[in-house]
Amino acid sequence: MKPIAFATTPAGPTPGRAGQAPQVWMLLALLTGFHGSGWATCIDEVKPEPAPAAAAAAVPLAASNPRSQLQALVQAALQRSNGIGAARLLAEAADQDVNEARASTKPVASLNVAVSPELNTGNTGAPHSSLQARGGITVSQTIYDGGRSDRIVDWRRYQAEAARLGTLSTQEQITLSTTSMAFERSRFRMQAVIWGQHVRKMGCLVEALTSIVSADKGRTSELVQARKQLQLAELQQVQSMSQARQVEAKLRRTAGDGLPGTEGMGSLLLTVPELPEVLMAAERSSDISQLDANTKSLREMVRVVEAANKPQLSWNVGSSAMLAAAAGTSRTAGLNAGIAVTIPLLNPSLEFSTQAARKRADAAALQRAEVLEQRRQRIVETHEQATAAFDRVKRVGQVLRDSELLRNYTLQQWQQLGRRSLFDVIAAESDHYNLRVQYVNALHDGQQMNATLLSLGVGLSPWLN
């Protein structure tokens, strides 16, 4: 029997280019000795891998910047979000509340009209009826109320600012969620590519061993082992494709059917932000700014309650007319103008209202401090996770280079020198592809941590734009 000949071209993975198949050795041919020479050609890993069929059918591939593709995906998600629409309506309603508070200091006019029939009985005992109609116009305006109206305007203004920041916070949450799903989609599609290459290699080996076993039944166990590994690789590929479809289904529900491709997503967000910069930016985040605005609005509410115990001064002008129809018709008219002063003397409940408002403001300030502290702690943890993920990328890349050499040497020793078994070859192949999947996972873990860091700081939107 002639030896099985393999041609190999060893090469390691290129750092910073995760997601592209490393230029690895190619199994050119398997030579059998039964009924002459037969060659089984294996697919070269250097050739581009087609995307999973279901994903390729649903995803139009665009040769554009991956950041632009991600930006378009996020914009589509924001436009389709009902949460964003609700937050914008709440912000607009808060603006109208501000206008209403400002308008409350302007003059107010009212018209009063009343019609009243009457039935009276005099000393003679004879009843008589009459009809009276009254009408009047009153114009009034508050001149001084201890600053209460101004404080109400400030309170509503801070509430409107909090509502506007709430819209930004909702946008940031949707942006982070969409970005994370985009990275997950890229992760699983790249895994499917890697397992697909493993399937082709094992399929080629099974085909060769099938020819060998037809001539040498003693090597049946090797065929069974290779077939088992092929089935395991197919299982991993199917699982990755299923996970990719699940993520794509979520993305379609969020951003619509026009999903961009995943080209370039494996190297989109590789730089870990500096920890001090993210910690400083946390105080300027929309979430913390919203809590600041809420605290300030509650501070103004304290001043509103306190102003209720101060004197109030207002002016009013009114005119009235009355028409009475009985035995005869009489008309009366009047005009009045004056200044009204209200001085609170005793209001036992006001002190309790003031203390309650002050405690709510203090509680809001403490909640803001607690949320900021938790945010900073999360930033520190996420920064460490991102750093560790990219350290794994570097270390796994180094191991991959040695793994590439090991799989080639093991294969050569098995088919040429007989010093290794097929089980060693399969183990080396399996370890190599598992390492490539680990590389992809570490790369996407690091990018997702970077996206979270940006979101915890100034936000992802500035980076996308």
From 169, 214, 186, select the one nearest 33 (Cα to Cα).
Answer: 214
d(Cα 177, Cα 444) in Å, to the nearest integer? 14
Q: Give the pLDDT of residue 188.
A: 95
Is residue 116 classed as helix, strand or coil in its secondary structure?
Answer: strand
Q: Which residues contact 443 (CB under 8 A, 6 or more apart)?
A: 18, 19, 266, 389, 393
> Cβ of 91: how many Cβ atoms within 10 Å?
18
Within 10 A of 354 (CB to CB), how many other CB atoms are there? 18
Measured in whole angstroms, the distance separating CA 103 from the mean position of its chain's CA atoms is 38
Q: What is the pLDDT of residue 395?
A: 94
* Spatial CB neighbours of 20, under 8 Å, sequence gap ≥ 6: 14, 266
End-to-end CA distance of the chain: 65
pLDDT, residue 60, reads: 41
How high is the pLDDT of residue 129? Answer: 67
438 CB-near residues (< 8 Å, 6+ apart): 392, 396
Predicted pLDDT of residue 355 = 94
- Per-residue model confidence as pLDDT tens digits over 98-141: 999 999 888 999 988 888 777 666 666 666 667 778 888 999 88
- Three-class DSSP labels, 210-245: HHHHHHCHHHHHHHHHHHHHHHHHHHHHHHHHHHHH
Retrieve residue 132's tokens. Answer: 């009276």
Question: Worst-scoring range by mean pLDDT, 82-91, 309-318, 441-450?
Answer: 309-318
> Any alpha helices (H) in 81-147, and if so which ranges?
82-103
Nearest partner of 407 among 3, 13, 2, 55, judged by Cα: 13
CA distance 359 to 347: 20
Please compute the mean of the pLDDT values over residues 431-442 and round it to a whole number: 94
Which tens digits make up the pLDDT trace of 293-313?
Answer: 999 999 999 999 988 888 888
- Mention the CATH class of domain 53-106+147-310+350-464: mainly alpha
pLDDT single digits (tens) 253-291: 999 888 888 888 888 899 999 999 999 999 999 999 999
Q: What is the pLDDT of residues 219-242, one digit of tens each?
A: 788 888 889 999 999 999 999 999
Find, among 371, 406, 157, the residue nearest to 285 by Cα. 371
pTM of the model: 0.78
Q: What is the mean pLDDT of the chain?
A: 82
Does residue 460 have a pLDDT over 50? yes
**What pLDDT sits at residue 27?**
24
Q: Give phi and psi for 318, each to the nearest 5.
A: -145, 155
> Given the DSSP bridges, would you call strands 127-144 and 329-342 parallel, antiparallel or unpaired?
unpaired
pLDDT at 252 over 80: yes
Q: Is the pLDDT of residue 16 over 70?
A: no
Q: Which residue has the higher pLDDT, 416 or 206?
A: 206
The residue behind tokens 């801070």 is 158
In three-state secondary structure terms, 440 is helix
Supply the pLDDT for residue 328.
Answer: 61
User: What local confidence, expressed as pLDDT, does residue 178 receive?
Assistant: 95
Per-residue pLDDT at 124 = 61
Mean pLDDT along residues 403-410? 88
* Amino acid found at 463: W
The secondary structure of residue 266, as a DSSP letter, is G
Token pair listed for 306: 């306190």
Residue 388 has pLDDT above 90, yes or no: yes
Comparing C-alpha atoms, which of 228, 193, 195, 224 is closest to residue 209?
A: 224
Instruction: Answer with the residue of higher pLDDT: 66 or 50.
Output: 66
320, amino acid identity: S
More confident site: 242 or 1: 242
For residue 122, the model assigns a pLDDT of 60
The pLDDT of residue 91: 94
Residue 433: which of 5, 57, 49 has the closest Cα?
49
pLDDT recorded at residue 58? 37
Percent share of the chain, pLDDT over 90:
50
| Domains of the chain by residue range | 53-106+147-310+350-464
Query: Maximum distance among all alpha carbons in the chain?
Result: 145
**Alpha carbons 217 and 452: distance in angstroms, whole number:** 57
41: nearest Cα among 186, 204, 258: 204
Buried b (16+ CB within 10 A) or exposed e, 110-129: eeeeeeeeeeeeeeeeeeee
